[in-house]
Amino acid sequence: MAKVVVVGSLNMDLVMRTARLPQMGETWLGGAFSTAEGGKGANQAVACARMGASVALVGRVGRDDFGRRLVEALVVEGVDVGGVRFDDEHPTGVASIYVVEGDNGIIVASGANAAVSARDVREARSAFEGAHCALFQLETPLEALGEGLRVAREAGAMTLLNPAPWHALPGDFFPFVDVFIPNGIELGQFAGTADLEAGATKALEAGVGAVVVTVGSEGAWLFRPGVKEHVAAPRVEAVDSTGAGDAFVGSLAVSLAEGLSLRESISFAVCAGALACTRLGAQPGLPRRKEVHALRRGWAGGEGGMRS
């Protein structure tokens, strides 16, 4: 069985559907409201678990109702939460998500996520033992990321960094990243250019092993030295894109952990991301392995399709 360890955030998502966003100073009546388990770290852990992997998560929640709900939901999904600490000083992180015509805007109050430390990672070192892949994002402090990359490399795990939300990284982090997975906006923020190939080249020169750029409904691009390849995604009717990137990253990690090539793993992951867009909510919308396989089989004859 593929084994994945995730170091990252846990949030309670407060989701509101609305026809449009209000202007500053304006009150606007929205539509349906719901809460859902979220946070990029937790989402990616659940995405991996639903793909059939053994998953451990390292992170923090507050000692409050939201925190208990998030941890309980992870346990139900089969995620090892031994590395998730209850923080007595900070509340659980919260994300306000506004869904407009299938797209979304998100504002995050980090709470306990901002207190995840290098020590937390060291104390969860056993979770890295035997792991095939380690996943990281940027919703927790850089000190935890740096320690996680180092511990993962020592354990022999492939490292995947989803640099979201983007903020500047120390240059010595990049050589520890095997697969760098930004979306087009994040790659532009890193490289200072909207040109994907130029941005990917800069990341490769910084030391990452490969760059996978997600581009929404258009799928993803793979860049390696001397390689530039587009992988199309199936067309779906989008309801809510929240969690689609996490579905992509989790599915990519599990496919790689199972020994598929990077190109084959991306082909699987774009189907997982597309399915996540057809449902409301982050974790509730994450697909299961059999659903992704079914979509791939049905799409295999279409443009850009790839047979299972």
* Residues labelled catalytic: 246
- Mapping DSSP onto H, E and C, the string for the chain reads CCEEEEECCCEEEEEEECCCCCCCCCCCCCCCEEEEEECHHHHHHHHHHHCCCEEEEEEEEECCHHHHHHHHHHHHCCCEEEEEEEECCCCCEEEEEEEECEEEEEEEECHHHHHCCHHHHHHCHHHHCCCCEEEECCCCCHHHHHHHHHHHHHHCCEEEECCCCCCCCCHHHHHHCCEECCEHHHHHHHHCCCCHHHHHHHHHHHCCCEEEEECHHHCEEEEECCEEEEECCCCCCCCECCCHHHHHHHHHHHHHHCCCCHHHHHHHHHHHHHHHCCCCCCHHHCCCHHHHHHHHHHHCCCCCCCCC
